[in-house]
């Protein structure tokens, strides 16, 4: 695990966007799996600015997770975020974007579909992650065990308190997410951590003790993880 600390969110975003761009230049048909939320937004904005003069007509994107139980067009979904911050500005066509429904009729069947899609398109070349306040990765929540593959997740109070879920009151939310084995199968992982609220969970992560109660700690098992902290 390679850990780099930055003195500002801007310097972190510069480094992250530069690394993503280099990865795309080395492998134009890169399969990128990208986290959503506040943490990576500035990095994506810088990526879009730097890539404006490049033809990214082979870049592929795989959705990492989603809020289950709400319409896809809801302003708080991961789908809406990705469309606004990556898909539209980078001109990623529907044939190169691998998504899944936020409110499927049969969530379990949706999981089967997504897993098959990942098997066909994968492995993921570069997976960008954020660390939850409770140590979760995507919607792999702390608990007695972790799921290896795409699954329906019961959300913790920490996840339900996320800013993306603020306008989802009255909805019985659940998570749809890649599993830990799917994430660890990525060729390279970038973990972005920002904000004073995550100081404690970051310290726990960097202790290097692997526990299902801290899903992020499983990244210690991966040979190519870059951790960016501000």
What does the pLDDT look like over 121-169, one tens digit per residue? Answer: 999 999 999 999 999 999 999 999 999 999 999 998 878 777 787 777 6
Identify whether the C-beta of residue 147 lies closer than 8 Å to the C-beta of residue 140.
yes
Asked whether the CA dihedral 67, 3, 146, 196 is positive or negative, the reply is: negative
Q: Which of 65, 79, 110, 182 is catalytic?
A: 65
**What rounded mean pLDDT belongs to the chain?**
95
Pairing of strands 225-229, 2-5: parallel
Distance between CA 106 and CA 110 in Å, rounded?
6
Question: Angle of helix 38-50 relative to helix 9-26, nearest 10 degrees?
Answer: 50
Active site residue 134: yes
pLDDT above 70: residue 170: no
- Is the confidence at residue 22, as pLDDT, over 80? yes
Is 136 part of the annotated catalytic residue set?
Answer: yes
Residue 141 annotated in active site: yes
Examine the residue annotation and report whether 167 is marked as an active-site residue of this protein.
Answer: no
pLDDT tens-digit profile of 52-61? 888 899 999 9
The residue from 136, 140, 151, 182 that is catalytic is 136
- The domains located in the chain, with CATH, are 2-229 (3.40.50.1360)
162: CB partners within 8 A, 6+ apart:
37
Band (pLDDT 50/70/90 cuts) for residue 171 is confident
The string of pLDDT tens digits covering residues 23-75 is 999 999 999 999 999 999 999 999 999 998 888 999 999 999 999 999 999 99
Spot the catalytic one: 14, 103, 134, 188: 134
Instruction: Kindly tell me the sign of the dihedral angle through the C-alpha atoms of 58, 50, 35, 6.
Output: positive
């Amino acid at each position: 695990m390679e850990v780099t600390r930055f003195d500002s969110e801007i310097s972190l975003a510069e480094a992250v966007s530069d690394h993503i761009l280099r990865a795309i230049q080395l492998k134009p048909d890169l399969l990128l799996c990208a986290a959503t939320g506040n943490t990576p937004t500035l990095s994506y904005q810088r990526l879009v600015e730097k890539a404006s003069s490049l033809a990214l007509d082979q870049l592929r994107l795989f959705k990492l997770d989603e809020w289950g139980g709400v319409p896809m067009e809801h302003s708080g979904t991961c789908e809406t975020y990705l469309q606004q911050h990556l898909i539209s500005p980078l001109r990623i066509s529907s044939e190169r974007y691998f998504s899944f429904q936020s409110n499927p009729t049969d969530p379990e069947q949706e999981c089967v579909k997504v897993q098959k899609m990942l098997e066909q398109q994968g492995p993921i070349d570069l997976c960008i992650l954020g660390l939850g306040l409770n140590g979760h990765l995507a919607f792999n929540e702390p608990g007695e065990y972790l799921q290896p593959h795409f699954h329906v997740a019961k959300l913790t109070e920490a996840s339900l308190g996320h800013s993306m879920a603020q306008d989802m009151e009255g909805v019985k939310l659940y998570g749809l997410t890649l599993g830990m084995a799917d994430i660890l199968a990525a060729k390279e992982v970038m973990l972005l951590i920002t904000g004073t609220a995550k100081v404690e969970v970051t310290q726990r992560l960097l202790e290097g003790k692997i526990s299902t109660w801290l899903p992020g700690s499983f990244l210690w098992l991966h040979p190519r993880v870059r951790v960016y902290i501000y």
